Amino acid sequence: MYPQLLTCDPYSNLYPICDLLLNYVNISFPDIRKSIIRCPRLLICSVDHQLRPALRFLESLGFVGKHALTCQTTLLLVSSVENTLLPKLNYLQDLGFSYEEVSRMVLRSPGLLTFSISNNFGPKVEYFFKEMNRDLAELKRFPQYFSFSLEGKIKPRHQLLLENGLSLSLPQMLKVSDGEFNARLIEM
């Protein structure tokens, strides 16, 4: 993926990244490998211009203590604060979520910060308000809604409920397996 790694100097290019992960992000030594496998792009990012600013921003958002970055979430470090992270936070706030609510949402589901506004958040928000006729309060209670596939899970299940004149809360509709959903639908 990144052939430039074959010609880079490990002392000036790679060791500073490992040092940041080990000593500032506090990823355990065995988990550094997992972080890099999960996000190889870490190895080509500038510590001073990319990784450290992203780390500071994420820490200010609440990614500290029990919510600190792990080998599963270090991929957030390669995100641009100005061009990627802030626009997503602003988008959610523009929907009506407070800064504190957005912070809690992304701490509970860090993957939200990896979603595209135009390809994920936008279509799901539009479907939620226009087709499902739901309100923001329900979305605030179940922000995991954004983590489910619109075409693969949300639309088909909503359509089945509509066809049968039924309604379920978002968690009841989305958190269960297909088999459990179908059994609940038959039961209702």
Instruction: Choose the final residue of a domain: 29, 55, 81.
Output: 81
First CA to last CA distance, the chain: 50
* Overall number of domains in the chain: 2
**Is the same domain home to 70 and 124?**
no
Say yes or no to pLDDT of 3 above 80: no
How would you classify residue 96: left for phi > 0, otherwise alpha for psi between -120 and 50, otherwise beta? left
Residue 112: inside a domain: no
Residue appearing with tokens 């089945």: 160
Question: pLDDT tens for residues 120-153?
Answer: 999 999 999 999 999 999 988 898 899 999 999 9
Q: Across residues 112-120, what is the average pLDDT? A: 93
Q: What is the pTM of this model?
A: 0.84
Indicate the residue type of 132: M
Share above pLDDT 90 across residues of the chain, in percent, rounded to a whole number: 79
Mean pLDDT of 102-118: 92
Query: Residue 164: which of 185, 134, 135 has the closest Cα?
Result: 185
Within a domain: 121: yes
Domain that holds residue 39: 1-81
Residue type, 125: V
Residue 30, both tokens = 């065995």
Q: Is the pLDDT of residue 63 over 80?
A: yes
Q: Does the structure show a pLDDT above 90 at 21? A: yes
Residue type, 24: Y
pLDDT, the chain, mean: 92
Q: What is the pLDDT of residue 61?
A: 94
CB atoms within 10 A of CB 149: 12
